[in-house]
């Protein structure tokens, strides 16, 4: 490869291709060198649910464009998997419809179209069925996800300026942030005979072995539990463990994010030396299902912590209620690495609003 000056005096790289040798003279063809974009092994497939309400938003220029801009944003931010060279096409199903009061969007791996108010082992079975584990079982990422937006809050005929940022926020959940976090403060349920079960404990095979040794027949007393055990005895189930996607410490009223890559980016950009505070709850035994949709799965809404540009943590995109003038932090992008993705930090070269085309 050679470098030449073009007619404008700019340095241009060229490939040279050997053509022939005549009378000991070498003849080459000069070919302009075209910079190839880095290979991206990650893509998102948007699938609108085929119901009349959702289709009215799919046919809305504003709402559909925002969702397509969301797709493009994460296809730039995420470049593949840390543990595999295989291409990942994340299928995200989009719904618009009724949500519980106060909720304007929800998302996560699998089907999150319905808000669950009671723990159900079948939901964990469904989640296990659509996650991908790395070879050393340290990371898990979803292969399918869904996002549901409130049709009460958003009108298909009335553009809402907060929608794009909300879509970005919910897509972070669809990728696994919050939803696939594993930590001691992630309480699954308090069940008869079992006591308080945290997610790491539930996925720990030693716990299950001890449980069936000490309480034979326990599976017959808890709906769906025997089916859950069957899944855990499958190939992927046996590989799950209490350290898969383990990201934090603390309890439900004082949780912290401690995974290394995200934490380092937080310290670098937020002028801090500690761990990332996670949105807490006052109830020390609250479950993931009953945490209100905000606690235990978002950054804390702290107004006293600011980044190098003076922006408050409380307005960062992955807090639970900042959707209008919110911003994307380096540590949120970095936390995607902590659960198994490769990322491109150049997505932060522009502010979030600049990626919205409508």
Per-residue pLDDT of 184-236, as tens digits, reads 888 766 665 566 667 776 666 555 555 555 555 555 655 556 666 665 665 55
Q: Please tell me the distance from the alpha carbon of residue 261 to that of residue 180, in angstroms, as a whole number.
A: 16
Q: What is the 3-state secondary structure (H, E, C) of the chain?
A: CEEEECCCCCEEEEEEEEEEEECCEEEEEEEECCCCCCCCCEEEEEEECCCHHHHHHHCCHHHHHHHHHHHHHHHHHEEEECCECCCEEEEEEEEEECCCCCCCEEEEECCCCCCCCCCCHHHHHHHHHCEEECCCCCCEEECEEEEEEECCCCECCECCCCHHHHHHHHHHHHHCCCCCCEECCCEEEEECCCEEEEHHHHCCHHHHHHHHHHCCCHHHHCCCHHHHHHHHCCHHHHHCCCCCCEEEEEECCEEEECCHHHHHHHHHHHCCCCCEEECCCCCCCCCCCCCCCCCCCCECCCCCCECCCCCEHHHECCCCCCCCCCECCHHHHHHHHHCCEEECHHHHHCCHHHHCCC
Query: Quick one: how far is CA 261 from the chain centroid?
Result: 15
Residue 2 confidence (pLDDT) above 60: no
Rg, the chain, Cα only: 24
Convert the pLDDT of each residue in 262-279 to its tens digit. Answer: 999 999 999 999 999 999
Q: What's the chain's average pLDDT?
A: 80
The two three-digit tokens of residue 59, written as one number? 């046919």
Convert the pLDDT of each residue in 14-26 to its tens digit. Answer: 444 444 444 455 5
Residue 10 banded pLDDT, cuts 50, 70, 90: low
Measure Cα distances from 164 to 62, 105, 112, 147, 308 in Å: 10, 12, 19, 13, 25
Q: Please tell me the distance from the alpha carbon of residue 299 to that of residue 187, in angstroms, as a whole number.
A: 18
Better-predicted residue by pLDDT, 98 or 287: 98
Which residues pair with residue 114 across a beta bridge?
none
What residues does each domain of the chain span? 2-32, 42-184+243-355, 193-239
Convert the pLDDT of each residue in 88-144 to its tens digit. Answer: 999 999 999 998 888 899 998 887 655 444 445 555 556 666 788 776 778 889 999
Longest dimension (CA), the chain: 92
Q: Where are the beta strands (DSSP E) in 223-264?
A: 246-251, 254-257
Residue 81 confidence (pLDDT) above 90: yes
Q: What is the pLDDT at residue 59?
A: 97
CB-based contact 226:220 (threshold 8 Å): yes
Residue 296 confidence (pLDDT) above 80: yes
Q: What is the pLDDT at residue 8?
A: 60
């Amino acid at each position: 490869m050679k470098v030449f000056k073009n007619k404008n005096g700019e340095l241009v790289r060229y490939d040279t291709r050997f053509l022939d040798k005549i009378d000991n003279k070498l003849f080459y063809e000069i070919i302009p060198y075209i910079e190839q974009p880095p290979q991206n092994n990650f893509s998102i497939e948007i699938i609108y649910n085929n119901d009349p309400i959702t289709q009215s938003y799919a046919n809305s220029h504003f709402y559909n464009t925002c969702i397509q801009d969301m797709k493009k944003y994460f296809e730039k931010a995420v470049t593949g998997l840390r543990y595999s060279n295989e291409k990942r096409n994340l299928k995200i199903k989009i719904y618009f419809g009724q949500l519980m009061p106060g909720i304007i969007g929800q998302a996560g791996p699998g089907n999150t179209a319905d808000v669950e108010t009671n723990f159900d082992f079948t939901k964990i079975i469904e989640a296990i069925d659509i996650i991908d584990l790395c070879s050393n079982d340290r990371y898990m990422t979803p292969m399918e996800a869904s996002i549901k937006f409130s049709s009460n809050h958003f009108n298909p005929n009335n553009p809402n300026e907060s929608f794009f940022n909300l879509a970005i926020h919910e897509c972070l959940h669809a990728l696994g942030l919050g939803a696939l976090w594993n930590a001691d403060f992630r309480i699954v349920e308090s069940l008869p005979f079992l006591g308080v079960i945290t997610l790491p404990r539930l996925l720990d095979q030693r716990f299950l072995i001890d449980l069936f040794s000490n309480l034979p027949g326990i599976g017959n007393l808890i709906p769906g539990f025997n089916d859950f055990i069957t899944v855990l005895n499958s190939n992927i189930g046996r590989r799950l463990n209490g350290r898969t996607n383990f990201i934090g410490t603390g309890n439900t009223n004082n949780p912290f994010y401690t995974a290394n890559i995200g934490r380092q980016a937080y310290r670098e950009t937020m002028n801090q030396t500690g761990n990332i505070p996670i949105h807490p709850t006052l109830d020390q035994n609250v479950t993931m299902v009953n945490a209100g949709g905000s606690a235990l799965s978002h950054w804390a809404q702290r107004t006293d912590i600011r980044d190098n540009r003076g922006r408050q943590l409380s307005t960062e995109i992955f807090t639970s209620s900042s959707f209008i003038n919110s911003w994307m932090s380096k540590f949120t992008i970095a936390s995607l690495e902590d659960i198994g993705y490769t990322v491109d930090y150049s997505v932060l070269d522009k502010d979030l609003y600049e990626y919205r085309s409508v």
